[in-house]
Structure 1
Amino acid sequence: MKRLIIAFACLLTVFSLTAKADFPDFTSLVKQAAPAVVNISTVQKAPSADAQNGFSFQGPNGEEIPEIFRHFFRFPDQGELPGPQQNTPQSLGSGFIISKDGYILTNHHVVKGADQVLVRLNDRRELEAVVVGSDERSDVALLKIDANDLPVVKIGDSSELEQGEWVIAIGSPFGFDHTVTSGIVSATGRALENETYVPFIQTDVAINPGNSGGPLFNLDGEVVGINSQIYTRSGGFMGLSFAIPIDVAMNVSEQLESSGFVTRGWLGVVIQEVNKDLAESFGLDKPSGALVAKVLPGSPAEAAGFRDGDIITEFNGQSINLSSDLPHQVGRVKPGTKARVDIVRNGDDKVLTVNIGTLPDEARAIKASSQPAQAPQNNRLNIMISDLSQDQKNNLAVSYGILVQKVMAGSAANAGLVAGDVITMLNGKRVDNVQVFEQIVSQLPAKRSVPMRIVRRGSPVFIPLKLNEE
């Protein structure tokens, strides 16, 4: 028994020493990197609505805001909301120095709408910064302070990050300067809603209001990302944090420094995800790629010969597994450059060459209308449809198609078709009017999914349709 106890104690000692040896020691990394991390505060004489709404995650009656992605700031108490002429500096976030002569990276949303930006250095100096440029799409801003011989961070390569790798964040959560938190890379290449051009790094590093714009380091002490967003119910850390890859941020900062603005590549297609049912309807072996729901008129894609229903599988040699993989790949290509795009069209592999354009500043607004053009007709799919008048085509921003007036129980309802949808393509064939549609429907196979392209509230999308009849 005594021998067993001694053996067990030895095993515990070995396990303890092994665990200690395997767990990273961040002390030297922090000593080296922390001096280049700064606190950023701003002064706003007339805060924007976004800034005012950002100070609390509760509604006007104290109700909880639903789970959404949040940029993170430092929030004062409920009773400390800034007035219309607030001149007191508000501690909004963090940043880090990338050059000895005073260039600093942070988030766009940290300095958005600021009348004055103040940077507090590690040695407690506080200097006013000039916003060299700020890019809303990537949420990156470049600042400049008048100083020399400043400590700088080492820039890493975010493309080499791997899932499970240790990372740390240094920032000012809730105004506590140079707070260090650690965790691992949970995922790379994450696409967030309305954040099309950034393949985010997801981590479980504890990030809170005030960390915004601060650096994310790997174990070599290199910056691999800029902490930007959290996923939260309460406004605090819940284990889901997102950082902008440093490769993206440096590309943006170089453009901001040289020209004050950022240009991105543009293909000119509206895309959607390929799920299991759509993959079956298009005859694919597995759900992958970016499905072209619409080719924009006058776009590089139109000039290159893209068609609605094409499935993009590779862009410039990079596999497109998810539709979210495509925008940031295209966005990083210099406008005017030729790119190779591999597609699947009607089951056949094809290669197109496209001359990448410049991403427009604003998307065109599309208005919808549901006024019927004529008395609707019933058909095999158990839906009531009608041709479109020219006014309806103008209002719905379509040049062809038929309008769905009513959807009864059946295959179309099961596919998700609803009244007000405009059907523009079915089983790879263009739908110009009701007569053409009826002819296509009469030839549809039973018990097999086929793709149907619709325009809903101005947005094109493909849905899989399967006739359940024998």
Structure 2
Amino acid sequence: MENSKVTNSLLPPAGRKSFRSVLLGAVALAAVGGLTIEALPVATHPAFAAAATVSAGPASFADVVDHVKGAVVSVKVKIDQSKASFDGEDSQSQPMPNFPKGGPMEKFFRQFGERGFGGQEHDQPRMAMAQGSGFFISADGYIVTNNHVVDHAKDVTITTTDGKTIPARVIGTDPKTDLALLKVTEGGDYPFVSFASQAPRVGDWVIAVGNPFGLGGTVTAGIVSARGRDIGSGPYDDFLQIDAPVNHGNSGGPTFNANGEVVGVNTAIFSPSGGSVGIGFAVASDVAKSVIQSLKDDGKVARGWLGVQIQPVTQDIADSMGLKESKGALVDKAEKDSPAAAAGLKDGDVITSVNGEAVADSHDLARKIAALGPKKEADLAIIRNGSTQTMKVTLGAMQDEKQAMADTPEAHAKDAMAKYGMSLEPATAVEGAGKTGVVVADVDPDGAAAQKGIATGDVILQVAGKPVSNPSDVTAAIDAAKSGGKKSVLMQVKTADSTRFVALSTEAVS
């Protein structure tokens, strides 16, 4: 299979940065052949008859392009390569090979390094150039682009459609949504565009404008293929999927509707080869508007914080809890001294709505809570022990990046399993492990797990009678058993030869 992937590296090869979160596992692409489709009598159904009269689209986008193209710019940045992560072919100057210090080869390449390796010392900054796109959102020179375009940037310049190059500075960035706000350092009256007041519908025409492969202003057209896409790039994914061709260098460029309003910020592509295959992703305008306004006002984004570890409600969980639908967010744990704990949320509660808006899943809950902001009150509808109740909570402020990462269910699972002397990985992430369960990736021979006969390569299928698919499922089940007063929990473990049950103490989890 080819290397099909989702990447937010829409930068050209000279400055592409590795995408931090890629789709796990392989994506199967199947070709359908030999399919005969018979024409249907469209006039027999009113809906089809009405659709048949709809125009196939505008005869030309030229008027819209003339209106918006002056606001779209090329963004060029000088990046400190020693701090950024590159995939090997992104840098215009390669680092010196890692020869032993003081050896003859190191001395040779230091002496003649300028002919192939830049002649730079290991401890000196290595600089690379990257290019992306952006667009003016105000006459005084504020510009929207992607965070991954300007991440670790030392110098930023923008080039307008008339070829003028202007220095710019970074006002603020938001890695969680991959957005950044710049401002040119020269005053002026710049052409600008506005965000759309309404979200586009699936099937609406869109126009992507940007700087693909560093070629300069380029326009492509297509339609909105889907909305609300979660591509695994961050906790607040809410992307438009478009089929307007976007390529490396389109990062940070705008996607317009047919009225010339910005409906999205081009961020990622699904690509087997590195180029466009008609599946692009843009940060939706309603997300971008609020983030950019926060960056303009405060230089950062303040998000609401509930303080819970959560997981989706799968059909199995819904059935075991007697729920009618597999919707909502299951509380694995309410953090100590968090807004959730103060409000009385407990492990095992299922949050079904926030301020009357239904919660589809754990990802949807995270977005809703974050969007409310710190110090805001929220009414949560929950299901506890089969009954529905409502509780009021005053949200806190989202911790910094490091602390937020420490609060994720998988981070908690890593810490908890370390106390048993083992580390876990989803079976789907380990080649040859199958599609169900959680693989024991490593075992401390002196740990509690090893004493119970658990070995590297074993697969945990169930904990407390519930199937598990992620390390956080294992710790959630152990935590629940401990909260219920149980001193041990029964795990079903598959070895190379057989399947057996292991009773593991709950006391190892804090």
Scaled by the length of structure 2, what TM-score is found? Answer: 0.66
Q: Partner of 2:375: helix, strand, or coil?
A: coil
Structure 2 contact 133–211 (Cα < 8 Å) conserved? yes
- Tell me whether 1:424 sits opposite 2:463 in the alignment: no
Q: How many angstroms does 1:325 deviate by?
A: 1.0
- Tell me whether 1:299 sits opposite 2:338 in the alignment: yes
Structure 1 contact 290–311 (Cα < 8 Å) conserved? yes
Structure 1 contact 107–228 (Cα < 8 Å) conserved? yes
Higher mean Cα deviation, 29-38 or 319-328?
Answer: 319-328
For 1:233 and 1:248, the matched residues in 2 are separated by 28
For 2:289 and 2:69, the matched residues in 1 are separated by 20
Higher mean Cα deviation, 415-424 or 301-310?
Answer: 415-424
Q: How many angstroms does 1:299 deviate by?
A: 1.1
Q: 1:431 to 1:81 in 2, by over 3 A?
A: farther
Give, as a single letter, the amino acid of the residue that structure 1 aligns with 2:57.
F
Structure 1 contact 405–419 (Cα < 8 Å) conserved? no
Q: Partner of 1:197: helix, strand, or coil?
A: coil
Q: How many angstroms does 1:36 deviate by?
A: 0.3
Q: Deviations over 1:344-380 (max 9, x none)?
A: 11111111111011000123365313349xxxxxxxx
- Tell me whether 1:151 sits opposite 2:203 in the alignment: no
For 2:453 and 2:342, the matched residues in 1 are separated by 31
Of 33, 36, 43 in structure 1, the residue corresponding to residue 78 of structure 2 is: 43
For 2:283 and 2:64, the matched residues in 1 are separated by 21
* Aligned positions of 1:66-215 closer than 5 A: 90-145=129-184, 146-157=186-197, 160-215=199-254
Of 33, 45, 57 in structure 2, the residue corresponding to residue 23 of structure 1 is: 57
Structure 1 contact 198–248 (Cα < 8 Å) conserved? no
Higher mean Cα deviation, 415-424 or 140-149?
Answer: 415-424
Q: Deviations over 1:283-324 (max 9, x none)?
A: 111211111122111211111111111111111222111221
Q: 1:306 to 1:410 in 2, by over 3 A?
A: closer
Q: How many angstroms does 1:92 deviate by?
A: 1.7
Q: Deviations over 1:252-290 (max 9, x none)?
A: 222222222221111111111112111111111121111
Higher mean Cα deviation, 116-125 or 412-421?
Answer: 412-421
For 1:347 and 1:222, the matched residues in 2 are separated by 47
Q: Partner of 1:164: helix, strand, or coil?
A: coil
Q: Partner of 1:234: helix, strand, or coil?
A: coil
Q: Deviations over 1:143-189 (max 9, x none)?
A: 1111311111122135x322222211100110121211122222222
- Tell me whether 1:335 sits opposite 2:335 in the alignment: no
Of 90, 103, 116 in structure 2, the residue corresponding to residue 55 of structure 1 is: 90
What is residue 243 of structure 1 aligned with on the other side? Answer: 282
Q: Partner of 2:274: helix, strand, or coil?
A: coil
For 1:143 and 1:408, the matched residues in 2 are separated by 49
Structure 1 contact 196–324 (Cα < 8 Å) conserved? yes
Any gaps of 5 or more consecutive residues in structure 1?
1-17, 57-78, 373-390, 396-402, 439-453, 461-470
* Aligned positions of 1:319-358 closer than 5 A: 319-358=358-397
What is residue 430 of structure 2 aligned with on the other side? Answer: none
- Tell me whether 1:283 sits opposite 2:337 in the alignment: no
Higher mean Cα deviation, 351-360 or 403-412?
Answer: 403-412
Q: 1:419 to 1:335 in 2, by over 3 A?
A: closer
Q: How many angstroms does 1:194 deviate by?
A: 4.2
Aligned residue pair count: 377
Of 467, 484, 495 in structure 2, the residue corresponding to residue 415 of structure 1 is: 467
For 1:32 and 1:417, the matched residues in 2 are separated by 51
Higher mean Cα deviation, 126-135 or 425-434?
Answer: 425-434
Q: 1:414 to 1:272 in 2, by over 3 A?
A: closer
Give, as a single letter, the amino acid of the residue that structure 2 aligns with 1:182.
A
Scaled by the length of structure 1, what TM-score is found? Answer: 0.71
Structure 2 contact 130–149 (Cα < 8 Å) conserved? no
Q: What is the aligned-residue RMSD (CA, Å)?
A: 3.8
For 1:418 and 1:188, the matched residues in 2 are separated by 27
For 2:141 and 2:487, the matched residues in 1 are separated by 63
Percent identity for Structure 1 against Structure 2: 37
Structure 1 contact 424–430 (Cα < 8 Å) conserved? no
For 2:211 and 2:470, the matched residues in 1 are separated by 49
Q: How many angstroms does 1:404 deviate by?
A: 9.6
